[in-house]
Structures are given as C-alpha cells and as structure tokens.
Amino acid sequence: MTSLLPDLGDVRDLRLVAVDMDGTLLDDEKRIGPGFDLVLTAMAERGIQLVAASGRQYATLHRQLDRPGLLYIAENGAWVLRDGEVISRDGLDRDAAMRTVEIARARVARGADAGTVLCGTSSAYVERSDKKFLAQTGPYYALLTVVEDLTTVQDDLLKIAVYDFTGSASAAPDFAGIGDDAKLVVSGQHWLDVGSPTADKGRALRELQENLGLGPQHTMVFGDYLNDLGMLAQARWSVAMDNAHPQVRAAAAYVAPSNNDNGVLRTLAAAMGVPLG
C-alpha cells in the first residue's frame, strides 16, 4: 500500500466532504484512525461540513460518529439526515421489497449461504438469526430485530441488504428478476443492496448540495467501492482509496493512502495544513 498523499491543490473553496465508511474512513477492524476530532475541528473552523455516506443504517452511523452537526447519507442514499432531521428519503416500494425477499429465500432453498436484512426507518429486520450471520450483520445495524417472517414487517422501507458468504459478485445474477421498480447495487465483497431505482449515494449527495446551496466545485468525496461511483462524480475533488476497486480508482481524480493507513484523515489534514501529531 502506498503512503503517498495526493496533492489536492488549492482547497479554499472546499465546503463539503463526503466520506464512505467501510473500506474508506474505517480500517479493516472497523476503527476510525487517529486525528478524527482534530480534523473535524479544523474543518469546522474553515466552514467545511462532513458527510458520512454509507450503506450502513443511520442509527449505526450516528452511534459510531456521534458528533454534533454531522450530515448523514445512510442506506446507500435512501435516507439523508442532519441532527436527526430528515432532508430526503427515497425508499423501496413494498411490492419490490417482497419480491426481493422471495428471490433471496429461493436462493437459500437452493443451497446459498446467505441472509436477508429488511431495512426500515425504525429498525432493520432479519429472519436468519444464527451467530454466524449475526456476526456479519450486527456491526452494521445498531437497531436489528429478529422476526419470523420478513413479509409481515410493517415499517417505512428503505432497502434490502443481502449478505452472501460466497460473495456478492456471484450472487448478483440471481436477482435479475427484481423488476424495474427496484435497483441492485453491489456494495461490498459480500453485500448486495436492493433499493429504489433512483436511490444512490450520488443522487443523495446532489440533493444535499442543493439543500446547502453548494455544488461539485465545493465538494470532496472519498470512496472505495462501486456504490461510491455516483458520489465521486459529484465532486471536484474525487478521491479513491489505495485499496479501492479498480473501477473506483479509474473514476477518481486522486488516490489516497489505504483505509488501513488512515488515508482519509491524513489527506484532509495535509490539504488544510494541519499536523496530525
């Protein structure tokens, strides 16, 4: 992994920094690197706001970051919030959600080692409750409810997440029949997300920019995986992590050190001229 920091040039117009979580801000042990609060303080002094942009649940993001004034793009763009106030929501149609649940169940019946998470605004819900599956889903869902039947859940639905122990790339073709009122996104090596056809981190970031009176010329984005591509396109400073998927690296204007090398915070600190110590 490279330890070289990208030269981002003049960042005096920077007002918004959107950061993916897993594989980007968080290291492989799901920890935030040293200097987070120092960098946040320096950003606030310069009028720069931080957006946590993730496939994760809002409750999980808020629990881990828990800093006043942060912006959140949760559930891969389905929900955008600030201090608990909803800025925008682009949820999944219930019929599409139920079709996806049935497809996922059929895969498991054929032998797939996978589990489904139904993501709502009040909680996330699972039918599979063994330790192996919950060990993979628990860190991403601070609010997680085990139910007997996902199709009986009554909640405002945001998306469906499928964790496949074999890998998301091999699982994706099985969801080709979800319909035009849903969209499949490969969001990690083992994660697939099914959401609204218009839900996307990039669209959510664009709506947030409009809400704040900002544009791509004021925005920096850090990402590592395919679900970050739309977001990278909305930023003058588009930064891929050194550990990023090849397509993400190709789409970005800059490459930062890896998530295990504290690349996000080191890059931001260097751009603002702030020593991390």
Q: Residue 277: its pLDDT value, please?
A: 65
The predicted structure's pLDDT at residue 176: 87
Q: Which tokens go with 127?
A: 């039918």
Q: Is the pTM of this model over 0.85?
A: yes
**Model pLDDT, residue 142:** 95
Question: Alpha helices of 71-227 — where are they, by DSSP H?
Answer: 94-109, 131-137, 168-171, 201-212
Which pLDDT belongs to residue 4?
A: 86
In the predicted structure, residue 2 carries a pLDDT above the cut 80? no
Cβ-contact 115, 162 below 8 angstroms? yes
Position 84 scores a pLDDT of 84
pLDDT in tens, 229-254: 999 999 999 999 999 999 999 999 99
- Please report the sign of the dihedral spanned by the C-alpha atoms of residue 135, residue 140, residue 142, residue 143: negative
Separation CA 137–CA 128 (nearest Å): 10
Residue with tokens 């199709």: 151
Q: What percent of the chain has pLDDT over 70?
A: 99
pLDDT value, residue 3: 61
CB-based contacts of 135, cutoff 8 Å, min separation 6: none
Q: Give residue 51's pLDDT band: very low, low, confident or very high (50, 70, 90).
A: very high
Name the average pLDDT for the chain: 95
What does the pLDDT look like over 104-155, one tens digit per residue?
999 999 999 999 999 999 999 999 999 999 999 998 999 999 999 999 999 9
pLDDT per position as a tens digit, 68-114? 899 999 999 999 998 889 999 999 999 999 999 999 999 999 999 99
Which structural domains are found in the chain, ordered by start?
16-90+200-272 (3.40.50.1000), 94-195 (3.30.1240.10)
Q: In the predicted model, what is the mean pLDDT of residues 36-63?
A: 96
